[in-house]
Chain A
Amino acid sequence: MTTAPADAAIHASLKGVTRIYPGAGGNKPVHALGPVDLDLRRGEFFGVVGPSGCGKSTLLEVLAGLQQPTAGTVNFEGKPVMGEVPDGIGVVFQEDASFPWLTVWDNAAFGLRRAGIDEAETRRRVDDVLAFMGLKDFARAYPAQLSGGMRQRVCIARTLVLQPRLILLDEPFGALDAQTRLLMGDEVLRLWRRTGATVLLITHALDEAAMLSDRIGAMSARPGRFMDIVETHWPRERDSTIVGEVAFGEITGRLWENLRGESLKSLGYAGMAAAE
């Protein structure tokens, strides 16, 4: 291992990562991402914002080992990520991935049971995570009986129970209304503080990124690249009330300044963006 001692602070990293989807049925190949370099510091909350279709989700899936990069390397805890999701990485997706044939409790226990964790330990960890996610009273309910926000919490619980050290969130609140989104943001901050895990959050909402993150990466239109990385300097103890702070407005303002042109590009107003 050539890992220098200073790199102990780096939890995961992408080096020169690009992802090109081969063209199918006579279509041109799509250059979705990169090249991207990124170092995630151990224990930080990193937000990623960018116009739609800029490769944010591709970035997350490459980092998680769900997709192979076309070029470049991915490292997690000093080991290369190759073709499968490493132990210690948990992912929550934008779509509802709760299993409708299982109760909330069984959904949360799913990963532990497949991993062969013994029954007593499973019960302890599942009860604990359900209490933490505010799902205790719904343990026997089926996902279809819950709201979208609650179902997304079930998915978070199912991921948290495996005690991941790096949690990847792919627009988990994209389908929720704005108020619920702010409150779910508080929950994510709470779980980030308690677990001590490194969190990478993909979002299209600038306010969400500004409120939650220690650092925010602003991505360009496709092929996605980091144009700017903003440090927020928020205290570790924080919640959604910081949306009233002056600094919050400055951060979202800076992000929007970066992203406005890119968003226009991704919407096809290339000329307008160039004229400005």
Chain B
Amino acid sequence: MIATRRAADTLVILIVLVLAWQVLHQIVGATALPGPLPTLSYLAKFVPTARFWENAEATLVAFFYALVLSYAIGLSLGVWMGIHRLSGAVGEPILISIYTLPKITLYPVVLLIFGLSLSGRVTFGAMHGILPVAILTMNAIRNIPPVYLKAARTLHLSRRQTIVTVLLPATLPEVVAGLRIGFTLTLLGVLLAEMFAAKSGLGFLIINAMSLLQTEEMITVAVMLFLFAAVANALLLWMEHKLHRRA
């Protein structure tokens, strides 16, 4: 029941988006924004080509490494700052101020260090993803009600049982929320890096198409990225809801 209603909601949102797209197209003209129909027919031609997939692969590889880094560093930082009070108290304001800093201003530094290499794009992606993962993980651990630990002791749980059967499930929903936001921001970071300085990748394709005034290709890539991000986000959101179980 809830699943069908959610599917219906998604469909309505999609229809509204496509309609808005059409309206915007009428206003600004095809040179800036091609309509949905011509774009879709271009998409059907362009997506099967090797050129699309080579660039998609470049993006995916950079994104994959960046995501692994974001999650590994973000989770470790978050767990450490959540458990160790002093580190958390010192680290939290620093993390939050870095989080609000527009990281694009630091991209020149990344470029000067790594050049146009894959490492530069990975680093820039991870710079975006680490912070939300770390901050939400830290909060998840700090927000564990102390009474859960007391209850665990009165129920005669071993240290391992307490971690696996109480602390982990208690923190999981918020940690997964962090992973979801980290996913989106890491993708953003990688695409930004590709747009400004790269010779391959979907971000590069978009900017390249723009400078050649191939607006259909530009929007096609954007649509594919939108689909990828939306599906991944929906999947993680579904996991989060499943963990909350607060129907």
B145 lies within 8 A of A97 (CB): yes
A-B contact count (CB 8 A): 59
Assess the B150–A91 pair: CB atoms within 8 A: yes
Query: SS class of chain B's interface: helix, strand, loop or mixed?
Result: helix
Residue on A nearest B166 in the bound complex, by CB? A99
Chain B residue at smallest Cβ distance from A103 = B245
Query: Is the CB–CB distance between B153 and A142 below 8 Å?
Result: no
* Interface membership of A165, Cβ < 8 A: no
CB–CB B156/A91 < 8 A: no
> Which chain A residue has the least Cβ–Cβ distance from B173?
A101
Check if A158 is an interface residue, CB within 8 A of chain B.
yes
- B154 near A91 (CB under 8 angstroms)? yes
Segment at the B interface, from A107-115, A221-229, A245-253: A107-115
Given A95-B145, A97-B148, A99-B148, CB of A110 within 8 Å of CB of B155: yes
Which residues in B have their C-beta under 8 angstroms from that of A89?
A: 154
Whether A100 contacts B246 by the Cβ 8 Å rule is yes
Establish whether residues B154 and A159, one from each chain, have CB atoms under 8 Å apart when the complex forms: yes
B246 cross-chain contacts in A, Cβ below 8 A: 100, 142, 144-145
Is there a chain B Cβ closer than 8 Å to A191's Cβ? no
Per-position contact with B for A135-159: 1 when CB-CB < 8 Å, else 0? 0000000101100000000010011
Most A C-beta atoms less than 10 A away, residue of B150, B155, B157, B243: B155
Instruction: Give the nearest-CB partner of B162 in chain A.
Output: A114
Whether the Cβ atoms of B153 and A85 lie closer than 8 Å is: yes
Q: Do B147 and A99 have beta carbons less than 8 Å apart?
A: no
Is B169 an interface residue when CB atoms closer than 8 A count as contact? yes
Contact A101:B243 (CB < 8 A) given known A110-B155, A114-B155, A158-B155:
yes
A142 to B247, CA, bound (A): 9
User: B170: CB under 8 A from chain A?
Assistant: yes
- Say whether B157 contacts A97, CB under 8 Å: no
- Looking at the assembled complex, report how far the CB atom of B146 sits from the nearest CB atom of chain A, in whole angstroms: 8
Interface centre among A85, A90, A114, A155 (most CB of B within 10 A): A114
The digit string for B159-190, where 1 denotes a CB below 8 A from any CB of A, is 00100011001101000000000000000000
Is there contact, CB below 8 Å, between B245 and A97? Answer: no
Mark contacts of B79-121 with chain A using CB atoms, 8 A cut-off: 1 yes-contact digit, 0 otherwise.
0000000000000000000000000000000000000000000
Chain B proximity mask over A43-78: 1 for CB below 8 Å, otherwise 0: 000000000000000000100101000000000000
- Contact present for B151 and A97 (CB under 8 Å): yes
- Write out the residue numbers on chain A whose beta carbons fall within 8 Å of the beta carbon of B145: 95, 97
Range for the number of chain A residues in contact with chain B: 20 to 34
Interface pair A97/B150, CB less than 8 Å apart? yes
CA distance A101 to B169 in the complex (A): 7
**Which residues of the partner chain B approach A87 to less than 8 Å between Cβ atoms?**
156
CB within 8 Å for A114 and B157 given contacts A99-B166, A99-B169, A142-B246: yes
Contact of B154 among A66, A101, A144 (CB under 8 A): A66
**A97 and B156 within 8 A (CB):** no
Which chain B residues border A96 with CB–CB below 8 Å? 147
Contact A101 B170 (CB under 8 A): yes
Roughly how many angstroms separate A111 CA and B161 CA in the complex, as a whole number? 11
Q: Enumerate chain B residues within 8 angstroms of A110, measured Cβ to Cβ.
A: 155, 165
Asked if residues A85 and B147 are in contact (CB atoms below 8 Å), the reply is no
Give chain A nearest CB distance to B117 CB in angstroms.
Answer: 43
**Please, which residues of chain A bring their CB within 8 A of the CB of B161?**
114
Contact across chains for B243 and A66 when beta carbons are under 8 A apart? no
How far, in Å, is A170 (CB) from chain B's closest CB?
Answer: 9
Known: A101-B169, A101-B243. A111 touches B150 (CB 8 A): no
15 A–B contacts, CB within 8 A, in A order: A66-B150, A84-B153, A85-B153, A85-B156, A91-B154, A99-B148, A99-B166, A100-B245, A101-B169, A101-B243, A110-B155, A114-B155, A114-B156, A155-B151, A159-B154
Task: Give 12 A-B pairs besides A66-B154, A87-B156 with Cβ atoms closer than 8 angstroms.
Answer: A91-B154, A95-B145, A96-B147, A97-B147, A97-B150, A101-B245, A111-B155, A114-B157, A114-B161, A142-B246, A144-B245, A145-B246
